[in-house]
Amino acid sequence: MDRLVWWLLSLVTLYDFIPGLISRVFGFRVFRRGRAEREIAITFDDGPNPLYTPQLLDLLKKHDAKATFFVVGAKAEKHPDIIKRMYDEGHSLGIHNYVHRSNWIMSPRTVKRQVQRTSDAIFAITGRRPIYYRPPWGILNLFDFSLLRHYQIVLWSGMFGDWKVKPGAETLYRKMRKQLAPGEVFVLHDCGTTFGADEEAPAHMLLALERILQDGDRMGLRYVGIGELMEITETMKADEKERKTQGGQAAAARRKTGPGKRLVVAVWMLWEKLFHVLFRLKPIDNGQFMHYRIIRYSGPELAMDGGVRLKRGDRLLEMHFDNGKMYEIGMNAKSSVHVAIRVIREVQHALPSLAKEIRRIDKEGRIKGLYGVSTINRGAEGLGFETFALPKGIFSFLTQRYLKLLMSIIHPEGGGRVRKHSDTIEPRCIVMSRERALAWESGEKPAEISEAYRAKRPNL
C-alpha cells in the first residue's frame, strides 16, 4: 500500500507539479513578461460573456487599446458575434480550452482535443486559427509542451484576484497601478461564471481597468496584443545581444575607414544625387530615409496573400532607401543584425507616410501596392511585406552585384564580411499589397499583420 501511494505521488509530481514549476518559475517554453519601452499587454480569460465583454470592448475602443482574449471554446460558439467583434477591432485571440477545466485532471489526448475544438470554433467565426494558448489557471501537464508545440503558451506577470468581488474596484486599481509598466503582461477576467469566481466580479474589474487605461494614456504607454509585445521583446533582446557581442568589432571596423573608402563613399553619394534626378525620385517624410517613384511591374506574375496577384504592367510604388542615411546607419551600427533592425524600424516609421501618399496621388486605385529590391529583407514579413526571389537573368545578376557593392560600403564590418557571406546575401523583391499598405495609414501596425506574421512562425 505504501509503495502504491509512493508511485501515485511520483506520477502526479511528474505529470503535474514539475511541468508547472519549470514553466511558471523558470519560464520554459512560455511567455510571461516582455521587454519594451512603452508597450504593455493586457489579457483576458474565461470569456466571452454577453454582459461584460461588450462593455470591455467599448472601453478598450475608447482608449484605442488592443488586448488579447483567451476564450473558452464553448462560450465562443454561443457568442460568435462577440468573437467576431474582437477580431474585427484588432484584438488578438487565444485558446483557453473548450471548457474551463484544468489540464492536471485531463489526459494529454483530451487536452489536445479541447484545444483543437476551440481552434475550430474560432476559425469558423474569423477565418483565422489562433496561435496562442493559455491553460486554465495557468496549469500545464507533462505532455502539453510536446502536444501543443505549435502554439505559443502565454502566462502572465501580473495577476490581481479580479475574479472575486471581495477586493473591490479600488483595491484592484491599486494592485494594478503598482505594476503598471512597459513589458508587463496582465491577466484579468471578463466572465465571472467560472467555478470559484463571482458572477458580478467583472463589474469591479471594469471600473479599475478604466482608471488604469487613463493612467497609461498619461504615462504614454501603448496597450498592445501579446504578439506585438513578443515581437518588440525579440527585437530588444537581439539588439542588446549584438551590442554586447559585436560592439567591439563594429568599433574597430569604423576606425579602419581610411581615405580610400572615404573617396568611394563621396563618389557614391554624388551618384546617389544623380540617380534621384535621372529617375525623378520623390521624397517621403522630407526625404529622411525613403524616396519613391511609380513604375510598371515587369517581372513574372506573383501570387500574394489574400488572393492578390501581381501581373506584368501593374502600377507599383517603388521604394528607394536613401543611401546617405543607410551609410550613417551602417557606420553607427554594431553588427549586420543591428543594421537590419534599424532599417526595419525606419521602414516601419515611413509606412504611414507611404500609405497617405498612395491615397493622395492615386484616388482611382490604380497603384497595386509597394515594391522594392533589397538585400536587407529579413524581418520584412513582420511589417506586412511578402518576399520573392528575383527571377534569374541579367537583371538579377546586375542587381546582386550592385547591392553587394552597396553593402560593402555601408556594412559596419566592411567588404570582408560581405565577401565572407556572399552566398547568403540575397537580394529579394519585397512587395506589399495596396490594401495592406493603406492599413498603415493610422500610424499603428495593423493587428492582422502581426498575427499573419506569427502564424508563419508558430514555434516562437
Cell matching residue 275:
540617380
C-alpha distances in Å from residue 446, one per residue of 81, 90, 387, 394, 408: 21, 7, 19, 37, 34
Find how far residue 298's CA is from the centre of its chain.
32
CB contact at 8 A, 189 and 163: yes
CA distances (Å), origin 386, targets 104, 139, 264, 381, 456: 41, 37, 33, 6, 12
Answer yes or no: are the C-beta atoms of 98 and 106 closer than 8 Å: no
Residue 67 to residue 70: CA distance in whole angstroms: 10
Helical ranges in 63-200 per DSSP H = 73-78, 80-88, 108-126, 144-147, 168-178
Question: Chain centroid to CA 417: how far?
Answer: 29
* Phi and psi, residue 282, nearest 5°: -115, 145
* Burial (CB count within 10 angstroms: exposed 0-12, middle 13-18, buried 19+), residue 308: middle
Based on the residue annotation, tell me whether 45 is a catalytic residue of this protein.
yes
For residue 212, which of 174, 157, 155 has the smallest C-alpha distance? 174
Of the candidates 16, 45, 144, 190, the residue annotated as catalytic is 45
User: Which helix (H) or strand (E) segment is 129 a member of?
Assistant: none
In whole angstroms, what is the distance from residue 363 CA to residue 355 CA? 12
Alpha carbons 460 and 458: distance in angstroms, whole number: 6
Q: Which of 430, 457, 433, 440 is nearest to 340 (CA)?
A: 430
- Catalytic position from the list 79, 91, 189, 320: 189
338 is catalytic: no
Among 319, 321, 322, 340, which residue's Cα sits nearest to residue 412?
340
SS (HEC) of 263-311: HHHHHHHHHHHHHHHHCCCEEEHHHCCEEEEEEECCCCCEECHHHCEEC
Catalytic residues: 45, 189
